[in-house]
Amino acid sequence: MRAQPQRSRILIVDDAPANIKALAGILAEQYEILAATSGPEALKTALAEQVDLVLLDVNMPGQDGYETCQKLKSNGQTQRIPVIFVTAMDEVTHETRGFELGAMDYVAKPIIPAILKARVANAVQLKQQQDKLELLSMTDGLTGIANRRRYEEFLEQHWLLAVRAATPLSLALMDIDYFKLYNDTYGHGAGDECLRLVAERLDAARGRATDLVARYGGEEFVCVLPNTDGHGALLLAERVRNEIRALAIPHSASQTDDCVTVSIGVATTLPRPGVDREAFIKAVDQNLYAAKAGGRNRVEATLWTAPARVML
């Protein structure tokens, strides 16, 4: 049985519950409706839920629609959500202000259902197209997993979260052993298939949905492990190493084994304000180098602490 496609979510923001009910009555058959009766509540909902469009009343007490739109567009988590203002104000200056703040459209009161539906449909379709393009820009074309751009954004985001929450963060960098020799022996087509198989197994082996596996470049892959201590990171890395070996992809040119293996460098740290993230990444890379220098098909893991600052 084919699963039903998930309906787009529309957040209706109006201080009058009767207005929310009227808009929901027009749109509920086609969309999932969320509601908020104030600007602060709208921001909280947009951050907590997957929202595809905000229908925003301009005239609200306290934080009005303009201020709410400005806050939505200034937050990295909500700035890409399209906003349509719903207002009885029809002066050009009001519309201009809304567009300057990042709104994509206006719907005038009194509401004409056919016009509301058409403008909402256009906004949702545009959002879906943008989401698809964004996903493609974050995906490695060969393996289908996250690419380096997505990895860098994810690491930055979770580094900052770890700083605020005072939780550990682990990073694993892995390299397919003697991959150049693999390509030379079996050809680049087989090499591409090897990369796809390894990526598929890595993605399946990650511990949680909150972890990220990405192609770092060439035959290197990286796994970001938020809220994971050194012991947990080492267990995951060893499981990954064993599962790649268990694929039993023949590699007659390897000087380590008769099939494809990986070397993995792992480091764990407790991110703090002012700590150089690049120095931590370098420590992970050094551990990968040590794993390769130590014979390959092995894991090298350390706990990393930022060097103390010298006070002059």
- 306 SS3 class: coil
Which of 183, 282, 175 lies closest to 237, judged by CA? Answer: 175
Strands (E), 66-195: 83-87, 105-108, 169-176
Domain 9-137 carries which CATH code? 3.40.50.2300
Active-site residues: which are they? 219
Strands (E), the chain: 9-13, 32-36, 53-57, 83-87, 105-108, 169-176, 212-217, 220-226, 262-269, 299-303
Helix (H) or strand (E) run with residue 15 in it: none
Name the pTM for this structure: 0.67
The CATH number fitting domain 148-303, selected from 3.30.70.270, 3.30.450.20, 3.20.20.70, 3.90.25.10? 3.30.70.270
| Angular region, 151: left φ>0, alpha ψ -120 to 50, beta rest | alpha
Strands (E), 134-235: 169-176, 212-217, 220-226
* CA 142 to mean position of chain CA atoms: 19
Q: Helices 179-186 & 188-205, crossing angle to 10 degrees? A: 130
What pLDDT was estimated at residue 5?
A: 58
Domain ranges in the chain with CATH number 3.40.50.2300: 9-137
Helix (H) or strand (E) run with residue 308 in it: none
| Amino acid letter, residue 216 | Y
pLDDT in tens, 143-163: 999 999 999 999 999 999 999
- 193 SS3 class: helix
Q: Are 65 and 13 in contact (CB under 8 A)?
A: yes
Domain ranges in the chain with CATH number 3.30.70.270: 148-303
> Binning pLDDT at 50, 70 and 90, where does residue 99 land?
confident
What pLDDT was estimated at residue 308?
A: 45
- Tokens 């939505």 belong to 72
Residue 201 has pLDDT above 60, yes or no: yes
pLDDT in tens, 5-50: 578 999 999 999 999 999 999 999 999 999 999 999 999 999 999 8
Over range 273-292, report the average pLDDT: 93
Residue 200 has pLDDT above 60, yes or no: yes
Long-range contacts of 12-16 (CB under 8 A, 24+ apart): 12/36, 12/55, 13/37, 13/38, 13/39, 13/41, 13/42, 13/54, 13/55, 13/56, 13/57, 13/60, 13/65, 13/68, 14/57, 14/60, 14/86, 15/57, 15/60, 15/61, 16/57
- Mean pLDDT, the chain, integer: 91
